[in-house]
Amino acid sequence: MRTKMVVANWKMNKTPKECKAFFRAFSPLYKGSRNREVVIAPSYICLPQAELSKPASVKLSAQNVSGEASGAYTGEISVEMLKAIPCDYVIIGHSERRLLFHESDEEIQKKVVQVIRGGLGGILCVGETRNERKGHQTLEVITRQLKVGLQGLTSQDLQQVTIAYEPVWAIGTGEVATAIQVEEVHRWIREFIWNKFGIEEASNLRIIYGGSVKAENIYEIASKPNVDGALIGGASLEAKTFIEILERIK
Ligand code: 13P
């Protein structure tokens, strides 16, 4: 049985003080569940505050990391630095990194390798743009992103990987993908893993959905057989709203 996973991606929001205030509101309302893992991904600078303020069972993720181990890379953050927080996961290849910061599949693959070799969990994001969907290229794009992003990984490495399907057209737009669209892509991703790594690896892999997830739509999406949770942007910023979503994934 795969444990459900709900990840809050705060993107470039909240100062450490605001992060502390979030947990002051969140912690009394939060009820842990053995069937669901909750992960908060604040900015790098909020990670130490989040570590101090969060409930013990809530895990932490970074939103990005360097593909290099250490050295002359001004402004970058390494896996070793994240491990010192300590941080459990890293979001890799978010579409905002791909599109706004021009991260290539190859750079993303280097980050995946750093994260896995460093012993952290990698949340690899994949997803098509609106034009790619319109051009019926969705599955082709996802396949390329997976093929390159997971290159060089062994079956054992894959145990540290979660895939997040985030169609670009559904991110921050209020236009959520239908449960049927989500399930179709998630099934495709699981089949890809089955072919590349094996049936056990495929059935253990968690595939989560992101893109305009809210309390109103999470239940239907998360009840699909190949959906193992959600990656949530806007609706994770306010403690009460995020708790309402968590209540629907138990
Ligand atoms: P929204 O939930 O704001 O659409 O963002 C999704 C996302 O990009 C999470 O990584």
Once rounded to an integer, what is the mean pLDDT over residues 58-63?
Answer: 98
Task: Dump pLDDT digits (tens) for 238-248.
Answer: 999 999 999 99
pLDDT band at 65; cut points 50, 70, 90: very high
**75: which 2 tokens?**
């402004």
CA–CA distance, 163 with 205 (Å, rounded to integer)? 8
* pLDDT of res. 1: 80
Task: Dump pLDDT digits (tens) for 186-213.
Answer: 999 999 999 999 999 999 999 999 999 9
* pLDDT of res. 175: 87
- With a 6 A CB cut-off, is 118 part of the ligand 1 pocket? no
231 Cα nearest atom in ligand 1: 9
* pLDDT of res. 112: 98
Task: Dump pLDDT digits (tens) for 103-145.
Answer: 999 999 999 999 999 999 999 999 999 999 999 999 999 999 9
Angle between helices 239-248 and 16-26 (to 10 degrees): 50
* pLDDT of res. 183: 98
* pLDDT of res. 90: 98
Once rounded to an integer, what is the mean pLDDT over residues 30-50?
Answer: 97
Once rounded to an integer, what is the mean pLDDT over residues 12-33?
Answer: 97
91 Cα nearest atom in ligand 1: 10
- Cα R_g (the chain), whole angstroms: 17
As a whole number, the mean pLDDT across the chain is: 97
Percent of the chain with pLDDT over 90: 97
Determine the distance separating the centroid of ligand 1 and the alpha carbon of 112, expressed in angstroms. 20
SS (H, E, C) the chain: CCCEEEEEECCCCCCHHHHHHHHHHHCCCCCCECCEEEEEECCHHHHHHHHHHCCCCCEEEECCCCCCCCCCCCCCCCHHHHHCCCCCEEEECCHHHHHHCCCCHHHHHHHHHHHHHCCCEEEEEECCCHHHHHCCCHHHHHHHHHHHHCCCCCHHHHCCEEEEECCHHHCCCCCCCCHHHHHHHHHHHHHHHHHHCCHHHHHHCEEEEECCCCHHHHHHHHCCCCCCEEEECHHHCCHHHHHHHHHHCC
* pLDDT of res. 174: 87
* pLDDT of res. 58: 98
The one-letter amino acid code at 64 reads N
Does 182 score more than 90 pLDDT?
A: yes
* pLDDT of res. 54: 98
Residues 6+ apart with CB under 8 A from 104: none
Determine the distance separating the centroid of ligand 1 and the alpha carbon of 210, expressed in angstroms. 6
The answer to whether 249 and 217 are in contact (CB under 8 A) is no
CATH of the domain at 19: 3.20.20.70
Task: Name the residues annotated as catalytic.
Answer: 94, 166
Domain coverage including residue 101 = 4-248
Task: Dump pLDDT digits (tens) for 83-105.
Answer: 999 999 999 999 999 999 999 99
pTM score of the predicted model: 0.98
Determine the distance separating the centroid of ligand 1 and the alpha carbon of 136, expressed in angstroms. 23
User: How many domains is the chain partitioned into structurally?
Assistant: 1
- With a 6 A CB cut-off, is 210 part of the ligand 1 pocket? yes
96 Cα nearest atom in ligand 1: 8
Does 250 score more than 80 pLDDT?
A: no
Determine the distance separating the centroid of ligand 1 and the alpha carbon of 34, expressed in angstroms. 25
